[in-house]
């Protein structure tokens, strides 16, 4: 009597297993947000402190120095928060969504630095708060395409506030920066921390 051979795995069953694996991998990649919620709340808190310290007319040297220092501090907080979060979820920061976020975010930040270097010496510092908020929002929308849905929504809110700030008088610049970099970071940071795990 011949020994029965095991039935070969059908091609469609193998293909279905591969599709399930691909779908699961894509869902895991899409559920990670490169924007840390707790880091966002801390960034918002330091922005509110910066707005209080920089309570001078928009365009003074002290005002610019405080906000440039705040940008550096916020960058370091965001980087540290993203590194901690990526370690916790066991997803390297330099792979997948993290890399895509940086690729989308960095050009807008570079444009903001260039425009600051051009507008401030030209005596057009009143346009800086709106420009910063608008470009930051554009960077978050662009980079956030590789993240969870709330991140691009946050970027759109920054863009809307930046547009409004460009239409407001010079005296409102510090208020707009506090509302955006302070308030919006705290609100959306809280949403991200609660809904998406830190």
Q: At residue 111, does pLDDT exceed 80? A: yes
Residue 22 lies in a domain: no
Q: How far is CA 137 from CA 17, 25, 123, 155, 184, in A?
A: 40, 28, 24, 4, 11
Q: Residue 84 — very low, low, confident or very high, per pLDDT cuts 50/70/90?
A: confident
Residue 141 lies in a domain: yes
pTM: 0.81
Q: At residue 159, does pLDDT exceed 90? A: yes
Residue 125 lies in a domain: yes
Residue 144 lies in a domain: yes
**Over the chain, what is the mean pLDDT?**
84
CA atoms of 79 and 92, how far apart (whole Å): 13
Number of domains within the chain: 1
Residue 166 lies in a domain: yes
- pLDDT of 33 reads 66
- pLDDT of 9 reads 55
Domain extent at residue 175: 34-196
C-alpha neighbours within 13 Å on the C-beta side of residue 133: 31
């Amino acid at each position: 009597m011949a020994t029965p051979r095991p039935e070969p795995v059908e091609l469609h069953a193998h293909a279905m297993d591969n599709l399930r694996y691909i779908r699961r991998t894509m869902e895991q990649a899409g559920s990670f947000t490169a924007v840390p919620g707790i880091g966002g709340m801390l960034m918002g808190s330091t922005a509110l402190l910066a707005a209080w310290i920089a309570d001078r007319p928009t365009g003074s040297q002290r005002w610019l120095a405080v906000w440039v220092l705040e940008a550096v501090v916020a960058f370091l907080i965001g980087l540290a928060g993203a590194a901690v979060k990526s370690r916790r979820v066991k997803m390297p920061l330099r792979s997948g969504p993290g890399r895509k976020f940086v690729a989308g975010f960095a050009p807008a930040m570079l444009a903001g630095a260039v425009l600051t270097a051009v507008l401030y010496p030209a005596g057009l510092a009143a346009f800086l708060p709106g420009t910063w908020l608008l470009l930051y929002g554009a960077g978050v929308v662009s980079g956030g395409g590789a993240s969870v849905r709330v991140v691009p929504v946050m970027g759109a809110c920054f863009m809307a506030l930046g547009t409004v700030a460009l239409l407001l008088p010079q005296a409102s610049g510090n208020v707009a920066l506090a509302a955006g970099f302070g308030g919006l970071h705290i609100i959306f940071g809280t949403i991200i921390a609660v809904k998406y795990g830190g």
